[in-house]
Amino acid sequence: MSVAISALGGLGEIGMNCMLLDSGSEAVIIDAGIMFPDDGMFGIDYVMPDFSVLNYVRERISGIFLTHGHDDHIGAVYYLLQAVNVPVYATRLTAELLKLRLEDQEPDLPYDIRVIERNAVVSLADFEFEAFPVCHSIPEGVGYIIRTGDGIIIHTGDFKIDDTPRDGVVTDLTRVSQVAREGITLLLSDSTNVENRGRTRSEKYVKDVLDSIIQEIPGRAIVSMFSSNITRLADTIESAAEAGRMVAVTGKSMEQNLAVARKLGYVKSERNDLFVDIENARKIDDDSLVVMTTGSQGEPLSALSLMARNQHRYVKVKESDTVIISSRFIPGNEKAIFRLIDNLCRRGADVIYQAISDVHVSGHGARKELELMIEAASPKYFVPIHGEYRHLVQHARVASRLNRTETIVVENGEVLVLENGSLRKEGSLAVGKVFVDGKGVGDVCEMVLRERRNLSRDGVVIAIVGYDSRKDKITYGPEMICLGVTDMVAGNGIIEGAKRLVEEMVLECAKAGSEETSSNIRRELKRYFNRQLERKPVIFPVMIDY
């Protein structure tokens, strides 16, 4: 027997984590996440792995194992279940968050979610999955110890090694070292923060900083964070309760996640009179209120951005307010976040963010913690996961410096074969990405995106001309509609020049009996605009034969 291991996503990017283990007679999947679009993906809501690549193993997939409740791990489970409807194994919180996602997509979807403990053992025919607790920015995260006929694999999930975790459960390195005595063949480990030296600070540190800010400020506190950072969500409520303040929440995803966190008892000072609806928040004295909101990345339609532009219905930012942005600035979002902070400052608020105070720590371990994991597992082979390509390469270097571990860097689709305790690269799967745009799943492809990019960069020129072929005469136009091109086209003869060019092309093509008038117009206009403006708008000729 042998086990083929390949990633459908997550290797070479941060997001859409999904891994397939296939013994040839049985297959399992670990995580199925989405990725948020980057700057060039206009109009795309999110990206996920193309699950059609699973067609060849579909019949033998027996389960999906989830590591934790973040969208880059569970956001695509709904789509995966369309391809393979099999049991999903997840801890309680992960399961609740998944149910929210599934019911949001399709209220009556049948699913089989099996809630597991953080040290559960699930035996399937060819695999035995043993969960072990890992500490992260969301509670109830797990990694998996996977026993196969060809060796033991460890998949860490997302982790940090926090000695004072907020839920009291540390990353179980002890269990990892115990298993290491049996011999771990392969360690797959989170690479996100490999570029950071030392260790990531404890979440407790942020709690202390939040405590002191919320206690000391005289006015309202407006705290913004990722709604998926359930630990921080719960801690902010704790800080508010300890300071004798009430809490109002704004932002749909935050309200939903908070409801789950409360239901499962993650809000320790749970009392009904602790919360006030956002509509009634203005009735509460400023020094007795904490407003929690989404929008920490400067998303233009989020509650915090609306507040910064004075457009929020219930919260008007004023001079006595303190706004705390308790999250990392995701690369690519900096400009939007700085604009947000500027607008909040214009309203006179005191704005506190990571650069000026320690109001955020990462949920991923830095290099020292990654080393601790490698040392505890002392695996025969090491394969870095969950990272952009440079993270994977750095992490592999860390591992090979540490001990004699053999490291292999693979990207999405490359297949690793584990056979009799040895690992080799062999072949590849045709993995791909699917773009989700509103209700459309997969109807936007790379080519559509390229068109959107071109349109956004140089605009579009529509040239309309009516021509009566019997009379050999132009009967309409040429009319020229320019959208998003440049103001320079108006008033300095550029449009007139373009019209003359179209007229000449139409008459010339008619004389030559050419059938390709449209494509000739497109080509000539392209050259013309490039010459005149050094731009390449998308040219769209419309010929009407009258």
Residues marked active site are found at 190, 364
DSSP symbol at 108: T
Radius of gyration of the chain from its Cα atoms, rounded to whole angstroms: 28
Instruction: Find the part of the chain contacting Zn ion (CB under 5 A) among 63-71, 332-340, 401-409, 436-444.
Output: 63-71
Question: Which residues from 157-186 bind Zn ion, rule CB under 5 A?
Answer: 158
Question: Which residues from 459-498 bind Zn ion, rule CB under 5 A?
Answer: none
**Measured from the CB of residue 205, what is the shortest distance to Zn ion in angstroms?**
19
Q: How many CB atoms lie within 10 A of CB 499?
A: 16
Instruction: Find the part of the chain contacting Zn ion (CB under 5 A) among 152-160, 218-226, 438-446, 448-456.
Output: 152-160
Give 341: exposed, middle or buried? Use CB within 10 Å, 0-12, 13-18, 19+.
buried
**CB neighbours of 500 closer than 8 A, spacing ≥ 6?**
none
Question: Which residues from 257-296 bind Zn ion, rule CB under 5 A?
Answer: none
Q: Is 71 in the site for Zn ion (CB under 5 A)?
A: no
Taking CB under 5 A as the criterion, the residue among 19, 34, 70, 463 binding Zn ion is: 70
**Measured from the CB of residue 18, what is the shortest distance to Zn ion in angstroms?**
11
Q: Are 373 and 156 contacting, i.e. CB atoms less than 8 angstroms apart?
A: yes
Nearer to Zn ion by C-beta: 160 or 220?
A: 160
Nearer to Zn ion by C-beta: 67 or 305?
A: 67
**Measured from the CB of residue 425, what is the shortest distance to Zn ion in angstroms?**
24
Strands 381-385 and 186-190: parallel
Query: By 3-state DSSP, what share of the chain in percent is helix, strand and coil, each rounded to 5?
Result: 35, 25, 40
Q: Are 305 and 340 contacting, i.e. CB atoms less than 8 angstroms apart?
A: yes
Size of the site for Zn ion (CB under 5 A): 3
DSSP string, 166-205: TTS----HHHHHHHHHH---EEEEE-TBTTS-S-PPPHHH
Distance, CA of 259 to CA of 309 (rounded, Å): 28
**Measured from the CB of residue 508, what is the shortest distance to Zn ion in angstroms?**
60
Distance, CA of 82 to CA of 77 (rounded, Å): 9
Q: What is the dihedral of CA 517, 521, 527, 532, to 10 degrees?
A: 150
Nearer to Zn ion by C-beta: 36 or 529?
A: 36
Nearer to Zn ion by C-beta: 191 or 239?
A: 191
Question: Which residues from 307-336 bind Zn ion, rule CB under 5 A?
Answer: none
Instruction: Find the part of the chain contacting Zn ion (CB under 5 A) among 143-151, 154-162, 430-438, 445-453.
Output: 154-162
Instruction: Find the part of the chain contacting Zn ion (CB under 5 A) among 64-72, 112-120, 274-282, 287-295.
Output: 64-72
Q: Is 72 in the site for Zn ion (CB under 5 A)?
A: yes
**Measured from the CB of residue 211, what is the shortest distance to Zn ion in angstroms?**
25
Nearer to Zn ion by C-beta: 187 or 278?
A: 187
Residue 208, token pair as written in the block: 């202390």
Q: Is the peptide bond before 139 cis (omega within 30 degrees of 0)?
A: no
Nearer to Zn ion by C-beta: 70 or 367?
A: 70
**Measured from the CB of residue 67, what is the shortest distance to Zn ion in angstroms?**
8
Q: Are 147 and 355 contacting, i.e. CB atoms less than 8 angstroms apart?
A: no
Residue 478, token pair as written in the block: 């040429």
Nearer to Zn ion by C-beta: 72 or 203?
A: 72
Q: Amino acid identity of 259?
A: A
**Measured from the CB of residue 10, what is the shortest distance to Zn ion in angstroms?**
8
**Measured from the CB of residue 390, what is the shortest distance to Zn ion in angstroms?**
17
Distance, CA of 184 to CA of 177 (rounded, Å): 9
Longest CA–CA span in the chain (Å) reads 91
Print the binding letters for residues 103-142 with Zn ion: x by CB under 5 A, - otherwise: ----------------------------------------
Q: Is 203 in the site for Zn ion (CB under 5 A)?
A: no
CB-based burial, 188-225: b 16+ in 10 Å, e otherwise? bbbbbbbebeebbbbbeebbebbbebbeebebbbbbbb
DSSP symbol at 35: B
Instruction: Find the part of the chain contacting Zn ion (CB under 5 A) among 65-73, 219-227, 420-428, 466-474.
Output: 65-73
Query: Could you identify the residue written with the tokens 């407790």?
Result: 204
Nearer to Zn ion by C-beta: 72 or 238?
A: 72
**Measured from the CB of residue 30, what is the shortest distance to Zn ion in angstroms?**
12
Residue 508, token pair as written in the block: 């010339």
Nearer to Zn ion by C-beta: 15 or 459?
A: 15
Q: Are 425 and 406 contacting, i.e. CB atoms less than 8 angstroms apart?
A: no
Query: Could you identify the residue written with the tokens 């020049």?
Result: 497
Instruction: By CB under 5 A, name the binding residues for Zn ion.
Output: 70, 72, 158
